[in-house]
Structure 1
Amino acid sequence: MFKKALLIAALMTPALFANAHEFDLGSLHIEHPWSREMPPVAPTAAAYFVVDNNGKEADRLIAIHTPVAEKAEMHEHVHAGGVMKMQQVQAVDIPVGGQVKFEPMGYHVMLFGLEQQMKAGEHFPMTLTFEKAGDVEVQVNVQKDAPAAGETHTH
């Protein structure tokens, strides 16, 4: 009986992680990591999330890694000469009591060298490395479309 209960719990665990949308690392709170489903031939994908700093000291997001891509880079969209362009950033400051949104047309994570594009309903691990708080692994949910305004919780 115990083995059967353990097996059922093990089978349900991935479903629980697939629906997890919030992750904590010390005073940092990461909300709703997500990525949009891309066509199978797309060479890249992007990931988004929100970071709240509820602590008493600033921190910086300095690296991102995921086993589903050869390379993950932080990027931002900027207006330059009347044109919107994307550029890589080496770090993103997370101010005390502040919130930084990784969202379309803002900061985002570019995933290069994907083994394959993920489909809506799937998820993948991504590790965020903060200068002071360290590493946290989040689960990125792949969705058909961007979340509705109410889906991303803010504090």
Structure 2
Amino acid sequence: MAAAGCGATQGEYNPPGANARIGSMLIRYAHIAEPPDGPWEPGDDAPLYVWLFNQGQRPDRLLGAETTVARSVDIVTAEGSTRGPVDVPVGKLVALNDERPHLLLRGLREQLRGGDYAWVTLRFERAGEIALQVHAQLPTYVEEDATEAPGLTSPSPGS
């Protein structure tokens, strides 16, 4: 069985994060990034990444988010400056990640380790609000040659 399992998953990607749907909005891979040098500590700002896909007939916008584990959640630019809502056009994938606008949990109230979960509510102009249980991603920051296959990563020691 192990051999069959290995062959069946070769080349597949098991992405992190929570997946959900509210109205015509698909939410994929929602997760809190884990820093390479340990857990997020109280007071830290932690990025939250998510992909959005609008299957509706009209454009929508991500207006904001909130959580109890941080003082606030802001939509920020790739550089970390606060910005306004994010447009989610019909039929187009909008990836909110480290190189683009994304969500930032500002002023964490508690430590978040890789694998910990936090409730985050996303608020859309048309689709409404949805609460997701998102996890802090397990650290996967390793050099590419440290794994057997290009593009794959290994969990950090001790996790």
> What is the TM-score of this pair, normalised by structure 2?
0.70
Residue 74 (1) aligns with residue 71 (2): no
Which residue of 1 is the match for residue 54 of structure 2? 53
Secondary structure class of the residue paired with 1:74 = strand
Separation in 2, partners of 1:35, 1:113: 14
Which residue of 1 is the match for residue 125 of structure 2? 131
Separation in 1, partners of 2:73, 2:131: 14
Which residue of 2 is the match for residue 86 of structure 1? 80
- The alignment of Structure 1 onto Structure 2 pairs a total of residues equal to 124
Secondary structure class of the residue paired with 1:116 = coil
Give the one of 108, 122, 126 matched to 2:102: 108
Separation in 1, partners of 2:32, 2:120: 11
Which residue of 1 is the match for residue 147 of structure 2? none
Cα gap change, 1:146/1:61 in structure 2, threshold over 3 Å: closer, same or farther?
farther
Which residue of 1 is the match for residue 8 of structure 2? none
Aligned identity (percent) is 28
CA contact (8 A) 1:36 1:146 kept: no
Aligned partner letter, 1:129: R
Separation in 2, partners of 1:52, 1:65: 20
> What is the TM-score of this pair, normalised by structure 1?
0.72
Q: CA RMSD in A?
A: 2.3
CA contact (8 A) 2:42 2:109 kept: no
Give the one of 32, 45, 52 matched to 1:35: 32
Which residue of 2 is the match for residue 8 of structure 1? none
Task: Give the C-alpha shift of residue 21 in structure 1.
Answer: 2.4
Separation in 1, partners of 2:51, 2:99: 14
Task: Give the C-alpha shift of residue 41 in structure 1.
Answer: 6.1
Structure 1 segments unaligned to the other structure (5+ residues): 1-18, 78-84, 151-155
CA contact (8 A) 2:53 2:93 kept: yes
In terms of fraction of residues, the more helix-rich structure is 1
